[in-house]
A and B are shown apart, each in its own frame.
Chain A
Amino acid sequence: DAGVIQSPRHEVTEMGQEVTLRCKPISGHDYLFWYRQTMMRGLELLIYFNNNVPIDDSGMPEDRFSAKMPNASFSTLKIQPSEPRDSAVYFCASSPGGTVIYFGEGSWLTVV
């Protein structure tokens, strides 16, 4: 079975540019999560959706970050404008029921 699919796997962009990260969750999962991982702050929950509806976005660091889930098979995390401190690995994860979480391989973002 296909797992959570994220794209791009790696992105290097210049400060000020818009970054869009994409995620296809596992079919049938009703929860979708976006996490960010850095050495300094570890794994942080940014936002999560249940049945395509955003439930908690309190982890979104700033208004520069936005996430959407237009349907059950697709979600985006957008950063506009990007800053060097946004450099991190961004993980999308999905879950059937919201307890055990299945992670994608991550999108490695570098903002220069």
Chain B
Amino acid sequence: SQQGEEDPQALSIQEGENATMNCSYKTSINNLQWYRQNSGRGLVHLILIRSNEREKHSGRLRVTLDTSKKSSSLLITASRAADTASYFCATISSGSARQLTFGSGTQLTVLP
């Protein structure tokens, strides 16, 4: 079963604009991760935020985590056509050994 649900399911923006994707999850977590998947490829880890962190940055990526609302957001600033991909949030539930469960993903299209 999927732990996280991304919103929106699809997002289309112009190059240079910011892209924001949201993730909601159901149970207590140890950490939350975001992964990216280019068409026809495997998933690639982008960033991890721990349950005691509220915000984290990595290059053009900004991730927030609100454990009280069981939600996270991924912001990609100054988007590029190369950012076109599917983005997934993934969580490991507290007490779970190593079961990383993925959301349904947001398909981001950045138009040149």
Residues of A within 8 A of B (CB): 4, 31, 33, 42-43, 45, 48, 50, 55-56, 91, 93, 95, 98-106
Contact = CB atoms under 8 A, between A and B. Distances in A.
Nearest to B88: A43
Nearest to B104: A42
Tell which of B33, B44, B98, B105 has the most Cβ of chain A within 10 Å: B98
Contacts of A48: 98-99
B41 interface: yes
B77 interface: no
Contacts of B104: 42
A93 B88 CA distance: 16
A104 B97 CA distance: 22
B43 A91 contact: yes
Interface string B38-75: 00011111001000000000000000000000000000
B48 to A, nearest CB: 6
B43 A103 contact: yes
B97 A100 contact: no
Interface string B76-112: 0000000000001010100001111111110000000
B1 to A, nearest CB: 9
Interface of B: 2, 31, 33, 41-45, 48, 88, 90, 92, 97-105
24 contacts: A43-B43, A43-B102, A45-B99, A45-B100, A45-B101, A48-B99, A50-B98, A56-B99, A93-B42, A93-B43, A98-B97, A98-B98, A99-B33, A99-B48, A99-B92, A99-B98, A99-B100, A100-B45, A100-B48, A101-B45, A102-B45, A103-B42, A103-B43, A103-B44
Given A55-B97, A99-B48, A42 B102 contact: yes
Contacts of B105: 42
Given A43-B88, A99-B48, A100-B48, A55 B98 contact: yes
A105 B99 contact: no
Contacts of B42: 4, 91, 93, 103-106
